[in-house]
Amino acid sequence: MTAAVADAPTPLVSARGVVKAFAVRGGAFGRSAGAVRAVDGVDLDIYPGEVLGLVGESGCGKSTLGRVLLGLLPADEGTVTFDGTDVHRARGHRLRALRRQMQIVFQDPFSSLDPRATIGDSIAEGLRAHGTPARQRQHKVHEVLELVGLEPGHAQRYPHQFSGGQRQRVGIARALAVEPRFLVADEPVSALDVSIRSQILNLLSDLQARLDFTLVFVAHDLAVVEHLCDRVAVMYLGGIAEIGTRDRVFRRPQHPYTEALLSAIPVADPERPRHRTRLKGEMPSPLDPPAGCRFHPRCPIAVAGVCDVETPGLLPAADDPSHRAACHLRTGEHQDLDPGREPVAP
């Protein structure tokens, strides 16, 4: 995985200038109350065989971005390509081929499974849509059930006969049945008991290593992605605040928001810097995002007259161009400003 990134291959998935907005209606008559730009001008490259963690608070746009990358939601602006094919312009056989190669694992597997269909039928649904003969379908269903730690005999059961963790295994099996090259796992463990989470995380990690698919793992908690991901992208109010390798983001975060998320994680590793960055207040309404840096009302090191006026670009760190952050103070855009606190020593 990591070697693939180091060799700088061509991205499997590329997003450029992606914007996705939703109309918001309010009042007794459902009049338009404006639009929320859930994803606002995102550029992102995802490389073959890597695991990218997409992290941020609720409402930051991470799940919406995941669906736009898969073509499940249309982009209002910008482009998404998968292996050179424009995801949002593909039609006919090209679209069918894309659908097979790009799959999603949902947060709530129960709501994504038909309660009246057997698990076997639900898993075979994608294979049926792609014309796989019945005998091969059955063989594949049994194969993926075993792959996710269930038994072939489970194919005859219904969703209500499974525990939450088992249902998420079924959700993963259903996504993998069509042998995708690209998988978006949308908060796949956040609805599960803590005791089950690590089992599902380990399963996804093992499957990714064995099958070598490209994985975007969406989570609201940096701790969840730490042991799974090669790279991490941190989102805030529709944009990417920071992106880099796991080690860089966890050990040398450039954005104060990333520091705040890291502050919430208990530190067992004595070599890792401890951060004590506390967020101020709530995330602003995406209906009326702040001017300048969108993080400035909550940022403990914001500089008046700069951060509330100028929007920072997502710029590379001086010692690692692949590590980028959207912060005036940390990326040298304003070298005359105080670069801020260093991480607090343990």
Number of helical (H) and strand (E) elements in the chain, helices listed first: 10, 12
Query: Does residue 38 belong to the site contacting ligand SF4 (CB under 6 A)?
Result: no
Supply the minimum distance, in Å, between the C-beta of residue 334 and ligand SF4: 9
Strands (E), 83-223: 85-86, 102-105, 182-186, 214-219
Question: Residue 324: enclosing H or E segment and its boundaries?
Answer: strand 320-325
- The window from 55-63, 163-171, 224-232, 324-332 that contacts ligand SF4 (CB under 6 A) reads 324-332
Among 144, 215, 229, 327, binds ligand SF4 (CB under 6 A): 327
Among 293, 314, 317, 323, binds ligand SF4 (CB under 6 A): 293
CB atoms within 10 A of CB 79: 14
Residue 243-272 contact track with ligand SF4, rule CB under 6 A, x = bound = ------------xx----------------
Among 173, 299, 314, 317, binds ligand SF4 (CB under 6 A): 299
| 343 and 274 Cβ atoms separated by less than 8 Å | yes
| 244 and 80 Cβ atoms separated by less than 8 Å | no
- The window from 9-17, 116-124, 278-286, 302-310 that contacts ligand SF4 (CB under 6 A) reads 302-310
| 325 and 242 Cβ atoms separated by less than 8 Å | yes
- The window from 53-61, 82-90, 180-188, 291-299 that contacts ligand SF4 (CB under 6 A) reads 291-299
| 53 and 249 Cβ atoms separated by less than 8 Å | no
Query: Does residue 301 belong to the site contacting ligand SF4 (CB under 6 A)?
Result: yes
Query: Does residue 236 belong to the site contacting ligand SF4 (CB under 6 A)?
Result: no
Q: CA-CA-CA-CA torsion for 191, 196, 197, 203, nearest 10 degrees?
A: -120
Alpha carbon of 313 to those of 144, 293, 327: distances in Å? 43, 9, 7
Pairing relationship of beta strands 315-317 and 231-236 according to DSSP bridges: unpaired
| 37 and 20 Cβ atoms separated by less than 8 Å | yes
- The window from 45-53, 97-105, 116-124, 326-334 that contacts ligand SF4 (CB under 6 A) reads 326-334
Closest CB to ligand SF4 among 134 and 291?
A: 291
Alpha carbon of 135 to those of 132, 139, 146: distances in Å? 8, 6, 17
Query: Does residue 328 belong to the site contacting ligand SF4 (CB under 6 A)?
Result: yes
Kindly state the number of chain residues that form the binding site for ligand SF4, as judged by CB under 6 A. Answer: 14
Supply the minimum distance, in Å, between the C-beta of residue 274 and ligand SF4: 19
Query: Does residue 21 belong to the site contacting ligand SF4 (CB under 6 A)?
Result: no
Supply the minimum distance, in Å, between the C-beta of residue 234 and ligand SF4: 11
- Footprint of ligand SF4 (CB under 6 A): 255-256, 293, 295-296, 299, 301-303, 307, 312, 327-329
